[in-house]
Structure 1
Amino acid sequence: MVAEGVQPAIRCVGGIVFDRGGRLLLVRRVNPPGEGLWSIPGGRVEQGETDHEAVTRELFEETGLSVTAGALIGRVTRPAEGRVYEIHDYLCQVRSGVLRAGDDASDARWTSVAILSTLRVSDLLVEGLYTTLDEWGQLPRS
């Protein structure tokens, strides 16, 4: 039971993925929260799934890429209409696949420092993404 005034937390995962050139993988979200904005790919952990299973599934569904999930980089919370998303972000390595937008993404792309900066100043990134990635040392390296 959830105490009155306390929003239920929904466990989610995100995948921080870089290509060989150091560019960061981003997707443009189709659904709230952050609809129409760019973010790292990810989503809800389904019942019975581990975080690593969920991030592997979510990345494949949203980007067409098969990844190996690695270390937990950090955790953020994002409030949204009557609930809170508790997002655990993992560093991932691409194993195979061809990048394409799918499932909850209208677009998917590798982003350089310049592109990420342009998205930031254009207010096209989900709230707090740039600052969080910067604090975690996970900005694009090219």
Structure 2
Amino acid sequence: MPCVGAVVHDADGRLLVVLRANDPDRGCWSVPGGRVEAGEDDAAAVVREVAEETGLDVVAGAVVGRLEVTGPDRVYAITDLACTLVDPAQVPVAGDDAADVAFVTLAELTARPCTPGLVDTLGAWGVLPG
């Protein structure tokens, strides 16, 4: 199943993360994202997913990495894109599939329960928060 994730940093270098409200990985923190819907490309999907989960408007940029995650009944082919905030003053608000949302530092990220492999993967791609 094609999916996208958004790597969004604020002006202070913190990373945008959401607390997943649904499975897979309910109760874990991850970057915003979700399924690519019919007729969407990755850029349109990531802009929509960020808006639905955080209320933030972003512009999709370059691909930062790709991975596959095996779920109980399918494989998720995830493309993560670097995204830029349209309005850096806009405040994120949890919505849709997110129970909470925050911009976090690396120390704050590693202190939270995250989706499996999140910190290692973002580190390998060179996009961890400052």
Aligned pairs for 1:103-142 within 5 A = 103-119=96-112, 124-141=113-130
**Alignment-derived partner of residue 72 in structure 1:** 63
Is 1:45 matched with 2:13?
Answer: no
What value does the CA root-mean-square deviation take over the aligned residues? 0.7
Deviation at 1:100, TM superposition (A): 0.5
Tell me which amino acid in the other structure corresponds to 1:90: L
Structure 2, unaligned stretches of length 5 or more? none
CA distance in 1, matches of 2:71, 2:111: 26
Gaps of 5+ in 1: 1-9
TM-score when normalising by structure 2: 0.96
Runs of 4+ in structure 1 off by over 3 angstroms are none
| Partner residue, 1:6 | none
- Structure-2 separation of matches of 1:50 and 1:113: 30
The equivalent of 1:5 in structure 2 is none
Figure out how many residues of one structure are paired with residues of the other and give that number.
Answer: 128
Identity within the alignment, %: 49
Does structure 1 residue 56 correspond to structure 2 residue 47?
A: yes
**For residues 15-48 of structure 1, what are the alpha-carbon distances to aligned partners after superposition, in whole Å with 9 as ceiling and x for unaligned?**
0000000000000001111111000000000000
Residue 2 (structure 2) aligned to one of 11, 19, 44: 11
1:82 deviates by 1.5
Measured in 2, the distance between the counterparts of 1:117 and 1:59 equals 22
Q: Structure 1 residue 116: deviation in Å? A: 1.2
- Cα separation, 1, equivalents of 2:78 and 2:127: 16
Structure of greater Rg: 1
